[in-house]
């Protein structure tokens, strides 16, 4: 249930009806500000003018009209002068064939417009998904370190350094041993 469709105590079928009810509610709020200390004659004029101009069509506006009517019915001088509140029940079922066809044509045009938009958005989303998958494949098969294989690349690098250092250390120990042997033989030859 969308909050956009709720006006006052009523929930409307379409956004258009809800917007009409909101406009009527705004009119009612402005009228209530002016009618706070108004006399019965002013209420009677507002009531008749609203009926004459068919100002209120939604249940929100009709409730306001009914409220004014009840106030006026309590006063004997207006009791017989009060007009009934006109109600229009013009829904889709009450439309003529021509109006129904126009309405259906309008909705079909809107549907066609959104249908092409939907197709384009699906195409764009598909392309973006393919690009993301390609990026993951490239990053996982690449030889360069990245987020996915960075830890393994570092471990391999340090393991290579460790073996290289061990080899150099072994070579140095052999050289040192050879030098010591040479020095020992040299010192023995002198004595």
The one-character DSSP state at 75 is S
Please count the other Cβ atoms lying within 10 Å of the Cβ belonging to residue 117: 10
Coil, strand or helix at 7: strand
What pLDDT sits at residue 134?
A: 93
Please, which pLDDT band fits residue 98 given cuts at 50, 70 and 90?
confident
Whole domain around residue 72: which residue ranges?
3-88
Please, which pLDDT band fits residue 162 given cuts at 50, 70 and 90?
very high
Q: Residue 136 falls within a domain, yes or no? A: no
Whole-number Cα distances in Å, 38 to 45, 50, 74, 82, 109 = 11, 16, 16, 18, 49
Q: Residue 104 falls within a domain, yes or no? A: no
What pLDDT sits at residue 1?
A: 57
Q: Residue 22 falls within a domain, yes or no? A: yes
Q: Residue 62 falls within a domain, yes or no? A: yes
Q: Residue 166 falls within a domain, yes or no? A: no
The answer to whether residues 40 and 75 touch, using CB atoms and an 8 Å cutoff, is yes
Q: Residue 161 falls within a domain, yes or no? A: no
Whether pLDDT at 70 is above 80: yes
Rounded to an integer, the average pLDDT of 92-112 is 72
Most confident of 36-40, 53-57, 149-153, 164-168: 164-168
Please give the tally of structural domains in the chain: 1
């Amino acid at each position: 249930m969308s909050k956009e469709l709720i006006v006052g105590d009523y929930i409307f079928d379409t956004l258009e009806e809800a917007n009409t009810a909101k406009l009527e509610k705004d009119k009612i709020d402005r009228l209530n500000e002016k009618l706070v200390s108004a006399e019965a004659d002013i209420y009677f004029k507002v009531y008749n003018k609203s009926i004459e101009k068919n100002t209120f069509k939604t249940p929100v506006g009709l409730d306001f009209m009914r409220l004014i009517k009840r106030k006026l019915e309590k006063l004997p001088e207006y009791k017989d002068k009060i007009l009934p509140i006109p109600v229009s029940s013009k829904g889709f079922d009450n439309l003529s064939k021509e109006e129904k066809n126009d309405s259906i044509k309008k909705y079909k045009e809107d549907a066609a417009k959104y249908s092409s938009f939907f197709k384009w958005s699906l195409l764009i989303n598909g392309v973006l998904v393919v690009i993301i998958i390609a990026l993951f494949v490239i990053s996982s098969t690449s030889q360069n370190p990245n987020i996915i294989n960075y830890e393994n690349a570092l471990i391999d690098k340090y393991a290579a350094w460790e073996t290289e250092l061990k080899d150099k250390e072994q070579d140095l120990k052999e050289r040192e041993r050879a030098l010591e042997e040479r020095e020992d033989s040299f010192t023995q030859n002198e004595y």
